[in-house]
């Protein structure tokens, strides 16, 4: 049983603040993904849990144990590194057995555990090879295998898929998720790839500049981002943002830009009650922009198609409406050509409205 609890964790490298006020309760057997752009402090946080980095402030618990000053080897964790860190002078078997040997596990048990792990990962026939004789995917499996033979309480993954090609990455993603179910242990996983985060995590922690932006399930983050950063970071292609002036008429509010107007439904208008500014940032996901047959002022947007990106399953249209550039994800069978006029109808219920000053969502 291993919950991981991080209380007010902070990390300073001299003057630079890498992580600040990090609070997170990771439940037993939970798959938590830390995601964010490079330099956001996600790897530093992971390394602090691992014991590879000292913490400047706060407390870290694994289970009920306070582990702030516990050396890495006593934390009962295993880590898979981005570059796998396999020992090039050892065979796959030796690589996997190394950790157990260091802990003076009996020879027979080592053999059994390595065999078991190799079977789970399907690398049984690679045991006598050296890392340089393996493909990227195989190395990755060996690195995972080396972690699971130890049967740790917590697994830490530091961008383990970023060195794989796209197809293999998708495949390994699924395998890792299956592995998590099978092993039933806590996993903390770091990635900069939001798709990876969305598909794998039970819960996702979005970070930026050392601060947690939002913690939630993939769909929570997608449907209800708390600020512009999370809204723009989660989802692909990214959410469209534009600034709009508020035109109030009674309880209803209209959003006015230089080239189009959107009439907000009453629930959305209610959100803006008491909002003191005259402008808001509006966010709408590409998949919430639908094709419309005719232009209805207040409901649809008249645009000109700039670039078409067919990706097969659907089609991304980069369009412009006056100064405002939008991306829409439309049906793959849509008949459209560049420079053609195109009418889009935003699903107004899925519109996100953000405070123009602090970039937080208005709700």
Partner 1 sequence: MERFGSKLVRFYIPTALYLIFLLFPFYWMANTVFKSDKELYNLKLNPFVIHSPTLENVVHLFTQTIFLKWMWNTFFVAILATLISLAASLLAAYAIQRLQFKTSGPTGVAIFLGYLVPQTILFIPLAHIIFKMRLWDSLWSLVLTYPTFLIPFCTWLLMGYFKSIPKEMEECAMIDGTSRINIFRKIILPLCLPGILSSFIFCFTLSWNEFLYALAFISTTTSKTVPIGLVTELVRGDVYHWGPLMAGALCASVPVALVYSFFVEHYVAGMTGALKE
Task: Return residues touching partner 1 (CB under 8 A).
Answer: 50-52, 71-73, 75, 77-79, 81-83, 85-89, 98-99, 102-103, 131-132, 146, 150
**Which residue is listed with tokens 């008249």?**
302
Q: Which is nearer to partner 1, 76 or 254 (CB)?
A: 76
Q: State the minimum distance, in angstroms, from the CB of residue 97 to partner 1.
A: 10
Q: Which of 363, 34, 26, 349 is nearest to 225 (CA)?
A: 363
Q: State the minimum distance, in angstroms, from the CB of residue 154 to partner 1.
A: 11
Q: Is-contact 341 293, C-beta < 8 A?
A: no
Q: Which two structure tokens, joined as six digits, stand for 74?
A: 């006593």
Q: Is-contact 245 290, C-beta < 8 A?
A: no
Q: Which is nearer to partner 1, 84 or 260 (CB)?
A: 84
DSSP state for residue 265 in the 8-state scheme: P
Q: Is-contact 207 18, C-beta < 8 A?
A: no
Q: State the minimum distance, in angstroms, from the CB of residue 143 to partner 1.
A: 9
Q: Is-contact 361 354, C-beta < 8 A?
A: yes
- The C-alpha atoms of residue 33 and residue 187 are separated, in whole angstroms, by 8
Q: Is-contact 336 343, C-beta < 8 A?
A: no
Sequence-ordered list of residues with C-beta below 8 angstroms from that of 105, at least 6 positions apart, any chain: 113
Q: Which is nearer to partner 1, 156 or 206 (CB)?
A: 156
Q: Which is nearer to partner 1, 83 or 347 (CB)?
A: 83
- The C-alpha atoms of residue 286 and residue 346 are separated, in whole angstroms, by 9
Q: Which is nearer to partner 1, 152 or 283 (CB)?
A: 152
Q: Which is nearer to partner 1, 61 or 81 (CB)?
A: 81
Q: State the minimum distance, in angstroms, from the CB of residue 79 to partner 1.
A: 5
Q: Is-contact 296 306, C-beta < 8 A?
A: no
Q: Which is nearer to partner 1, 154 or 239 (CB)?
A: 154
Q: State the minimum distance, in angstroms, from the CB of residue 86 to partner 1.
A: 8
- The C-alpha atoms of residue 153 and residue 257 are separated, in whole angstroms, by 54
Q: Which of 210, 229, 212, 225 is nearest to 32 (CA)?
A: 212
**Which residue is listed with tokens 């939970």?**
30
Q: State the minimum distance, in angstroms, from the CB of residue 248 to partner 1.
A: 57
Q: State the minimum distance, in angstroms, from the CB of residue 172 to partner 1.
A: 19
Q: State the minimum distance, in angstroms, from the CB of residue 211 to partner 1.
A: 26
Q: Is-contact 356 277, C-beta < 8 A?
A: yes
Q: Which is nearer to partner 1, 99 or 232 (CB)?
A: 99
Q: Where are the beta strands (DSSP E) in 37-76?
A: 57-62, 65-66
């Amino acid at each position: 049983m291993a919950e991981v609890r991080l209380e007010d964790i902070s990390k300073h490298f001299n003057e630079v603040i890498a992580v600040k006020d990090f609070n997170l309760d990771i439940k037993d057997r939970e798959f938590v993904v830390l995601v964010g752009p490079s330099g956001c402090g996600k790897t530093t946080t992971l390394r602090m849990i691992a014991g590879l980095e000292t913490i400047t402030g706060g407390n870290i618990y694994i289970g009920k144990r306070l582990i702030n000053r516990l050396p890495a080897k006593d934390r009962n964790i295993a880590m898979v590194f981005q570059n796998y860190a396999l020992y090039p002078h050892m065979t796959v078997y030796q690589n996997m057995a190394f950790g157990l040997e260091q802990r003076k596990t009996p020879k027979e048990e080592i053999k059994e555990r390595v065999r078991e792990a190799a079977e789970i990962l399907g690398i049984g026939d690679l045991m006598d090879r050296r890392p340089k004789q393996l493909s990227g995917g195989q190395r990755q499996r060996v690195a995972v295998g080396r972690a699971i033979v130890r049967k740790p309480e917590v697994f830490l993954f530091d961008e383990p898929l970023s060195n794989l090609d796209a197809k293999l990455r998708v495949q390994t993603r699924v395998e890792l998720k299956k592995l998590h179910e099978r092993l039933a242990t806590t996993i903390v996983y770091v990635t900069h790839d939001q798709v990876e985060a969305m598909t794998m995590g039970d819960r996702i922690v979005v970070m930026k500049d050392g601060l947690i932006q939002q913690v939630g399930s993939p769909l929570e983050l997608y449907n209800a981002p708390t600020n512009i950063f999370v809204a723009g970071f989660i989802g692909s292609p990214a959410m469209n943002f534009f600034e709009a002036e508020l035109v109030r008429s009674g309880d209803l509010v209209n959003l006015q830009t230089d080239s189009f107007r959107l009439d907000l439904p009453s629930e959305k208008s209610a959100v803006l009650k008491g909002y003191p500014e005259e402008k808001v940032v509006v966010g709408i996901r590409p998949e919430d922009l639908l094709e419309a047959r005719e232009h209805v002022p207040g409901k649809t947007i008249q645009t000109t198609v700039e670039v078409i990106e067919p990706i097969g399953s659907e089609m991304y249209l980069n369009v412009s409406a006056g100064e405002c550039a939008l991306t829409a994800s439309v049906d793959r069978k849509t008949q459209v050509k560049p420079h053609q006029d195109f009418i889009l109808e935003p699903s107004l219920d899925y519109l996100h409205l953000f405070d123009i000053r602090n970039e937080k969502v208005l709700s």
